[in-house]
Amino acid sequence: MPLRLVPRLAPSRLALYGAPLLAVAATVVFGYVLFLAIGRDPLTALHAYFIAPVNSRFGLSEWLLTALPLTLIGLGLAVGFRANVWNIGAEGQLLLGAIGGGAVALALWREGVPGTFLLVCIAGALAGMAWAAIPAFLRTRFNANEILTSLMLIYVADQLLGYLVHGALRNPQGFGFPESRLFSAEAIMPNLLSGTRLHVGWLLVPLAVLAMWFLMSRTVTGFRLQVSGEAAGAAAYAGFSQKRMVWLSFLLTGGLAGVVGAMEVAGPVGQLLPEISPGYGFAAIIVAFLGRLSPVGVLLAAHLLALILIGGENVQMLGVPVAVAQLFQGVLLVALLASDVLVRYRVVRLGRLGRGSA
């Protein structure tokens, strides 16, 4: 092999920020080739994918609206991944948030209490945390792998939602369709920008980014989380409880995913449906990695992923399968992981070190 990886003594700053850009560039190139291969004009298609959807005031607001869940969940996941806690089940926690928030909205359907939407969000957060507590408990108490348990719980949550909208929470006047009644006006997230669907929940974005920055860079708890993730041996040696980190990571992400779920049903949708999320919980995993597990990085990455999701919808008009969005996500994540090697290693050509006589 002519090339060899040599570990760096300190991570490369340039590569740290350059690698995500490289990955994005690689994904765009992939898109170009893909569109060419399926007989679409690549530039038209790329324009339809990445530019056209956000080329208007409404488009921009939809972009922010899609980036909202990705940012919030991505921030939670970033904290967890920093602590080496692998919560892959944010999608399920989101669904439980939708169920919890939806149940409160439906329970208060007739009451007309002002500010019900706040209760809806709180209920969503609690429900998401409760769902996240299951893998946390199984991991800390029984040592069960949290990746597998949190993932299995997505499917359970999905069935639970299906069960409820087919049964207890179904709209009695809905002709048997599997959906709840429409929430009352008090339970709907107040609008933030007239003429758009952007709601006040978006205000959580800057708040959460700031809070996460403070947690990770200024608090002892944030420091402990990072030590746990970087070197479990050092964390044990320094007396940081691994279990507490697992709990913290899960509850934080569960709470954020739960709020997101509640805001989805109390926001643009306005009722409980069997399908709530276009895979926000999975896309947020990519957001966390692409954003280098840092708050501002997550914010930027969430907007890129939001663009990929929206664009996927938009290119359907060109007869491109909507699954192209998921394909792009996969390519982006693979490209990102591959370019990450530059952060930790230098690529050296054999012979530059001097092979002597050879």
Least distance to another protein from the beta carbon of 213, Å? 13
**DSSP 8-state secondary structure symbol assigned to residue 199:** B
For residues 210-249, which are near another protein according to CB under 8 A? 218-221, 223, 226-227, 230-231, 233-234, 236-241
191 binds another protein (CB under 8 A): no
Nearer to another protein, 210 or 234 (CB): 234
Stretch that binds another protein, among 60-68, 104-112, 113-121, 333-341 (CB under 8 A): 333-341
Neighbouring CB atoms inside 10 A of 7's CB total 7
12 binds another protein (CB under 8 A): no
User: How big is the site for another protein, counted in residues (CB under 8 A)?
Assistant: 75
Work out which of 18, 42, 162, 268 binds another protein, going by CB under 8 A. Answer: 162
Nearer to another protein, 58 or 137 (CB): 137
Q: Which of 131, 73, 127 is nearest to 301 (CA)?
A: 73
Spell out the residues 6+ positions from residue 143 whose beta carbon is closer than 8 angstroms to its own: none
250 binds another protein (CB under 8 A): no
Work out which of 107, 147, 200, 300 binds another protein, going by CB under 8 A. Answer: 147
Work out which of 39, 114, 167, 176 binds another protein, going by CB under 8 A. Answer: 167
285 binds another protein (CB under 8 A): yes
Nearer to another protein, 187 or 310 (CB): 310
**DSSP 8-state secondary structure symbol assigned to residue 346:** E
**DSSP 8-state secondary structure symbol assigned to residue 184:** P
Neighbouring CB atoms inside 10 A of 321's CB total 12
Work out which of 105, 286, 305, 309 binds another protein, going by CB under 8 A. Answer: 286
Which pair of structure tokens corresponds to residue 34?
């893909």
159 binds another protein (CB under 8 A): yes
Return the H-helix or E-strand segment holding 349: strand 345-349
Contact track, another protein, 74-113, x by CB under 8 A: ------------x-x-------------------------
Work out which of 16, 28, 52, 148 binds another protein, going by CB under 8 A. Answer: 148
CA 239, distance to chain mean position in Å, is 31
196 binds another protein (CB under 8 A): no
Long-range pairs for 338-343: beta carbons < 8 A, 24 or more residues apart: 338/23, 339/15, 339/18, 339/19, 339/20, 339/22, 339/23, 339/26, 340/19, 341/5, 342/12, 342/15, 342/18, 342/19, 342/22, 343/8, 343/11, 343/12, 343/15, 343/16, 343/19
Alpha-carbon distance of 254 to 272, in angstroms, equals 19
Work out which of 2, 7, 114, 176 binds another protein, going by CB under 8 A. Answer: 7
Work out which of 136, 267, 282, 301 binds another protein, going by CB under 8 A. Answer: 282
